[in-house]
Amino acid sequence: MRKMNDRNRTFLLITIPILALFICFNTVPLIRGVYYSFTNFKGFGDYDMVGLRNYMDLFTDSRVGRSYWFTFRLAVCATIITNVISLILALGLNSKIRGKSFFRAAYFLPNVLGALVVGYIFNYFFTYILPEFGKTIGSGALSGSMLSNEKTAWIGVVVVCAWQSIAMNTIIYISGLQTVPEDVYEAGSLDGATGWKKFKLLTFPLIIPFFTINMVLCVKNFLMVFDQIMALTKGGPAQSTESISYLIYNNGMAGGQFGFQSANAVIFFIVIVAISVAQMSFSSRKEEQL
């Protein structure tokens, strides 16, 4: 009994510093942010309580509306692209091919690189290399930088977000595919399940939990996109690629709207939690049906 108490005491001593750091750097800033959302705080100086005015103004601010529209459009497109490509790659890398370990490591490299580094590399690619290639082949559409065009800049952001996220999603799908018993495929082959039918009826239903994880992580990460925006467009041109996170940072820190953007952050937090819970609930029902 004494040994158990000593063990529990050790675990408690390990947990307390971690819990203290979490409260200090996560919980306290969250509470302060919620408090500031009810004020007209500019980030410095005195401030007054304004009640729910910041929250009401959010629904009439056209810039906030555009940032939400861009962010949700990017999240949906990037999530679809990432999961389709990741699943295809995972199916290929899970098959019996030579050099499988090498290809898995190679595909994971984009995830190792920092998002800002990747963003600056693609910025150079979209600004200089791709336009030069377009001029060489005589393509007017590729001759200019897509990041300087309001209609195409968001496509560049989607490409970079998907390119870097595919690596982790592929690894998760491979983990899921390796949990599928070979007996299932053998039984399915006896019933004539091959190709698409094999994937639809056998493989996909068994990896739905991994599909759910990828979908939730993708939507959450893409809704919170910041580094890619900072490195590629800084919200431009003409605020056409201004994500919610970048708007909160830019106007809250440098634009004198700390209180207003704190309210925006609170609403954004609630939206992300609601979407994640809805995704998990929907996926759970699908799993029960299967």
Q: Is 1 a residue whose pLDDT tops 60?
A: no
What is the per-residue pLDDT across 185-214, written as a single tens digit (0 to 9) for each?
A: 777 777 766 777 777 777 888 888 899 889
Of 58 and 186, more confident:
58
pLDDT of residue 39: 93
Does 3.20.20.70 match the CATH number of domain 76-289? no
What torsion do the CA atoms of 152, 158, 159, 164 make, to the nearest 10 degrees? 160
Domain spans in the chain, listed from the N-terminal domain onward: 76-289
Tokens of 102: 């090498």
Q: Is 287 a residue whose pLDDT tops 70?
A: no
What is the per-residue pLDDT across 14-25, written as a single tens digit (0 to 9) for each?
A: 899 999 999 999
What torsion do the CA atoms of 61, 252, 78, 160 make, to the nearest 10 degrees? 130
Contact 170, 107 (CB under 8 A): yes
Tokens of 268: 């954004």
Quote the mean pLDDT of the chain. 87
What is the per-residue pLDDT across 76-118, written as a single tens digit (0 to 9) for each?
A: 999 999 999 999 988 888 877 776 677 767 777 777 788 888 8
Residue 39, SS3 per DSSP: strand
**What is the DSSP secondary structure assignment for residue 148, as one 8-state letter?**
G
What is the per-residue pLDDT across 6-48, written as a single tens digit (0 to 9) for each?
A: 778 888 888 999 999 999 998 999 999 999 999 999 888 888 9
Contact 165, 213 (CB under 8 A): no
Q: Is 270 a residue whose pLDDT tops 90?
A: yes
Residue 48 to residues 35, 52, 57, 258: CA-CA distances in angstroms?
11, 12, 16, 13
Neighbour tally for 170: CB within 10 Å: 27
Q: Mean pLDDT across the stretch 247-256?
A: 87
Contact 203, 225 (CB under 8 A): no
